[in-house]
Structure 1
Amino acid sequence: MVFQIMRIAIDARAIFGQRAGKGEYVYQIIKHLAKIDQKNQYFLYTRGNLSENFGANFSARQLKLPSFFWHFFVWLDLKFRLKPDIYFAPTSYIISSLGVKNSVIMVPDLVAFLFPKEHLPAAVFLEKIFLKKALRKSRCVITISRSTRDDLIRLFSILPDKIQVIYLAADQGSKKKASPVFLKKTREKYNLPSRFILSVGTLEPRKNLIRLLRAYRGLNMKECVLVLVGKKGWHYQEIFRQVRDLNLERCVRFLGYVPREDLFALYHLAQIFVYPSLYEGFGLPPLEAMNCGTAVITSKTSSLPEVAGCASILVNPRNTEELTRAMRLLLTNDILRAKLVRLGKIQAKKFSWEKTAREIYLCFKNLLK
């Protein structure tokens, strides 16, 4: 039997710069595709220099252009010059909406349609223009949770057979036990106390940080500070204003974006991890926290119950008192906290980037049968 070499083009812009959220999962998908597939050819469309060598069968096609022109010229290149067997769009719908042979799009979430007031207006505008066309013109649609799949079917009447649910995973680096020396250096680097509550995510309305701040105020445990990790996002100013209004300046620490190795150390050091997001297409931080052996409180909405399973305390993210009670319970009940740490490690093992990459690879392969 003759092996047919596939030529696969990927929109890889998200892997450049400070990777978080989409950037992290796109990087992990490409990294693990490179690990499992050394035969097919991959063409990574970027806007910057590709600093990492993924393998001899991976090459970069760099176009340093503003976003609008970048999409248009990549579409022309795909359509008339490269002519790949598969085009994979893990973060954007624009090129797929214009029509590309064997397009596979990944729909990470539908926040632009479900929570438009809590999302960037420009992103809402673009997704409402291009997603519906991209769904119609693509050969396969990948969602990263059953929750998003169900929302797609409900909002766009897509045939279920066209959608494939492929879960993400936690970075394997988070599973490695950090050395006591590195943990000590990390604690000193960020001037952290012996006990703290950790939350990770972009500072934006959808992450529900204002309710988290109010719930923390109700906790009235100032010896256990609240540490927020994540870069400033849309409407972040209100979060800082709330800290001042609640007189929490001495109890809340904003660390901004932190390197991955520091982030894993922070997970290990934290007493508990709290993630009260209003909506997530998947929700990597709770999974990373569980992988590091940290007890988790998260929301019982959207995809988060799929990720957390029975290994966390699930709360109504709009109920501040319920969130306060959950934090107090987990901070004061050592037996429960230890139980959730054990269950969390078991839950995290259900997800792996190699499995994610293999399922995406099979999706590509099946389209050419």
Structure 2
Amino acid sequence: MPQLTVLVDGTAVPRELGGVGRYVEGVVSHLTDPALDVHLVVRPVHAPHFAAVAPHATVHTAPGWTDSVPLRFLWEQTGLPALGRRLGARVLHSPHYTFPFGWRGGSVVTLHDATFFSNPEWHSRLKRTFFTWWSRRSLRSRPVVIVPSAATATEAARVVTGIRADVRVAPLGVDRAVFHEPSTAEVEDARIAATLPEGAPWIAFLGTIEPRKNVTALLDAYATVRTSRAAAGADTPWLVLSGARGWDESAIARLDALQPDEHVIEAGYLPLEDLAGYLGGAEFVVYPSLGEGFGLPVVEAMASGACVLTTRRLSLPEVGGDAAVYTEPSADALASAMTGLLDDPSLVASHRAAALARAASFTWEATAAVHVGAYESVAGGAR
């Protein structure tokens, strides 16, 4: 039987990889079925990385000018289908909402999130306009659309009419080489990377500073916890935020006004190799999101052996299961839940053990298997 030639478009992966980068990396590196002839096209900045993590795939480099976002979309509509035809690809996988209209082979599109429809206030006007337009087109015109959670599939069905796509759920995986129970040395390396004082315990947050991450409520809750514990003569671990600044102006204003004696550190991007130590070495990880398409930081924290405090919004209970601790996202509820964990080390320990067991069920092999099924189902036809 001849191999099925699949072309994956990785040109939308951001320079720092980020969520979509982790997704493309995780899926493509596990598309090792010998029945597949896998091709991946990326921007020049990413070519060496993907060639290293997916040696079984043929990595192609898009023109350097695709670093420009408008020009990347132009290339996607023209150069990408031309590359697919030249390779004899029967399937084109577009892993980040958009796809070339001129492609006549099998087509699979991944939609990571439906909150552009359900909660537009969490996104900039440009992003919500762009992504709702492309999400509708994908759901109405592509044969198969992949989403990372049942919650995202349900939300898409609720808000988009005329869906023709076969919507398939492929929960994301976690890289055990990166996210694992950390050694003492890895915890200390993470402490240094986060600029924490020697010996200081910490509470960890991982994510972009954007409205849905609910960082303002987290900062308010943390201040309440510190005040109440200080009145009782108890110390409180530092709060460390790791991730890029997004468009949450309220949270950013609060962060800019922080004083050193408030014991909050904005660590920015931490190196990937420090994340297991950062997450697993924390007293607990708090992820107070108002809603996610999946919530990869929750899985990554659980795989690092962390007790995770999160919310029951959208996909997060699918990810956390019984292993996570849940709270309402208000500052008062967060403060109460954080205090409860700080006052009950045995509860934290039990959730650490449950987290490791829960995280074991999220594998990139399982994610890739859903993708292989999608590729095979669209290979014979076009839309």
TM-score, normalisation: structure 2: 0.87
1:40 maps onto 2:36 in alignment: yes
Q: Name 1:51's counterpart in structure 2.
A: 48
1:260 aligns with 2:272: yes
Structure 1: gaps (5+ residues): none
Q: Which of residues 318, 331, 338 in structure 2 aligns to 1:320?
A: 331
Distance in 2 (CA, whole Å) between partners of 1:160 and 1:328 is 48
CA distance in 1, matches of 2:325, 2:17: 28
- Pick one of 150, 165, 169 that aligns with 1:165: 169
Specify which of 22, 25, 29 is matched with residue 24 of structure 1. Answer: 22
Alignment partner of 1:88: what SS?
A: strand
Residue 106 of structure 1 is matched in structure 2 by 110
Separation in structure 2 between the aligned mates of residue 81 and residue 307 of structure 1, nearest angstrom: 37
* Preserved CA contact (<8 Å) 1:298 1:314: yes
Q: Comparing 260-269 with 191-200, which one deviates more in the overlay?
A: 191-200
Change (3 A) 1:56 1:327: closer
**Kept after mapping to 2: 8 A contact 1:105/1:138:** yes
Return the offset for 1:299. 0.9
* Structure 1: distance between partners of 2:56 and 2:317: 40
Deviation, structure 1 residue 22:
1.7
Alignment CA distance shift 1:240-1:135 (3 Å): closer
Q: Residues 258-278 of structure 1: CA distance to partner in whole angstroms, max 9, x if unpaired? A: 111111110121001000011
Per-residue CA distance 1:254-306 (angstroms, 9 max, x = gap) = 00011111111101210010000111000011111111111111011110000
- Per-residue deviation, residues 187-239 of structure 1 (Å, max 9, x unmatched): 2343324311100000111110000011111112453111000011123x432
* Aligned-pair CA distance for 1:25: 1.4
Task: Choose which of 214, 217, 240 in structure 2 pairs with 1:227.
Answer: 240
Structure 2 unmatched ranges of 5 or more: 230-234
Amino acid at match of 1:365: E
Deviation per CA, 1:154-179, whole angstroms, max 9, x where unpaired?
Answer: 11135597111110022212443333
- Could you tell me how far 1:240 is from its partner in structure 2? 3.6
Answering whether residue 287 of structure 2 is matched by residue 285 of structure 1, we say no
Corresponding residue for residue 87 of structure 1 = 92
1:321–1:16 CA distance, 2 compared to 1 (3 A): closer
Q: Is the 1:173–1:264 contact (alpha carbons within 8 Å) kept by the matching residues of 2?
A: no
* Cα-Cα RMSD: 2.2
- How far residue 367 of structure 1 moved from its aligned partner, in angstroms, is 2.2
Write the letter of the residue equivalent to 2:216: I
Q: Tell me the secondary structure at the aligned position of residue 93 of structure 2.
A: strand
Instruction: Report what 1:71 is aligned to.
Output: 73
Is the Cα–Cα contact under 8 Å of residues 8 and 92 in structure 2 kept in the other structure? yes
- Rate the CA distance shift 1:142–1:249 in 2: closer, same or farther, 3 A: farther
Q: Which amino acid aligns with 1:364?
A: Y
Partners of 1:223 and 1:264 lie apart in 2 by 22
Q: Distance in 1 between matches of 2:338 and 2:161?
A: 40
Deviates more, 1:196-205 or 1:213-222: 213-222
AA matched with 1:63: P
3-state SS, counterpart of residue 262 of structure 2: coil
| Structure 1 counterpart of 2:122 | 118
What one-letter code is carried by the residue in structure 2 that aligns with 1:332? D
Deviations 1:128-159 (A, max 9, x none): 33221222221101110000000111111355
Contact 1:15 1:27 (C-alpha < 8 Å) held by counterparts = no
Given that residues 202 and 230 in structure 1 are in contact (C-alpha distance below 8 angstroms), is that contact kept between their aligned partners in structure 2?
yes
Q: In the alignment, is residue 195 of structure 1 matched against residue 189 of structure 2?
A: no
Deviation, 1:59, is 2.7
Distance 1:165 1:249 in 2: 45
Paired position in structure 2 for 1:12: 10
Give aligned-pair identity as a percent.
27
Number of aligned pairs?
362
Report the alpha carbon displacement of residue 97 of structure 1 after superposing the two structures with TM.
Answer: 5.1
Q: Matches of 1:340 and 1:70 in 2, distance apart?
A: 44
SS in 2 for 1:228: strand
In 1: Cα distance, 2:83 partner to 2:201 partner? 57
CA contact (8 A) 1:64 1:70 kept: no
Distance 1:293 1:175, change over 3 A: same
Moved more, 124-133 or 158-167: 158-167
Match of 1:198, SS state, is strand
In structure 2, distance between residues paired with 1:75 and 1:243: 41
1:144 alignment counterpart: 148
Deviation at 1:351, TM superposition (A): 0.8
Deviates more, 1:21-30 or 1:252-261: 21-30
Contact kept? 1:97, 1:131, Cα under 8 Å:
no
Shift of 1:312: 1.3
Q: What is the rounded CA distance, in whole Å, between the counterparts of 1:97 and 1:45 in structure 2?
A: 18
1:331 aligns with 2:342: yes
